[in-house]
Amino acid sequence: MKKLLLSLSIVIGTISFAQSADGPKFGIKAGGNLSSFTGGDSKSKIGFYAGAFVNIPISDVFGVQPEIVYSQQGAKAKSDYEMATYTIKNMQQMLGYINVPIMLQYNATPEFYLEAGPEFGILVNAQAKGDINGSTYKADNKDTMKSFNFGAGIGLGYKFTPNLGVNARYIAGITKILKNDFGDSSKNTNFQLGLNYFF
């Protein structure tokens, strides 16, 4: 939580003191996630993200873009399981985060840019879901997950018009997902593809 508050302070400070002829541009963004966990027992799960951002030019070619985004992540189990008299199928873990990425952007051209930076996340919901002996069960398991997530992102984008653009980003998790991992060091991975709209 302290790390998230520090990142938010940096965002506010950057917005307050950034000097630019163009000035900051606010916008909204939304798109799809293809997320998973590191390790060999999971496969990708489709989700979505949506949020807002402010793009702050700091020179002719560099800018910084703080964001606040709700991101639906998680993973599916690769295989079905047999436990005693139970047959477990279609297991998946759903995770919902409020993420705060802070991307440093390099504008290679007026339309095309590259970006990289940290992402700070707070877990807001978690649910395990699966079919046990033919019946579907859901369970809230947020208490077993770490509430803070830290990752590093890299991406690129293209602006079709001054108001509309597309962005692709990969975020690699650095912190572990589970509170008590019992040897499981799984971390989040997430690929995002979506649209940005500048006001």
pLDDT in tens, 153-163: 999 999 999 99
**What's the pLDDT tens digit per position in 89-100?**
778 899 999 999
Counting residues of the chain whose pLDDT is more than 90, the rounded percentage is: 67
**In angstroms, rounded to a whole number, what is the distance separating the alpha carbons of residues 192 and 172?**
11
pLDDT classification of 135: cutoffs 50, 70, 90: confident
| Token code pair at residue 72 | 């639906």
Q: Hunting for tokens 């809230």 — which residue is that?
A: 140
pTM of the model: 0.83
| Token code pair at residue 120 | 């700070």
| Mean pLDDT, residues 126-153 taken together | 90
**In angstroms, rounded to a whole number, what is the distance separating the alpha carbons of residues 172 and 152?**
5
**In angstroms, rounded to a whole number, what is the distance separating the alpha carbons of residues 134 and 118?**
42
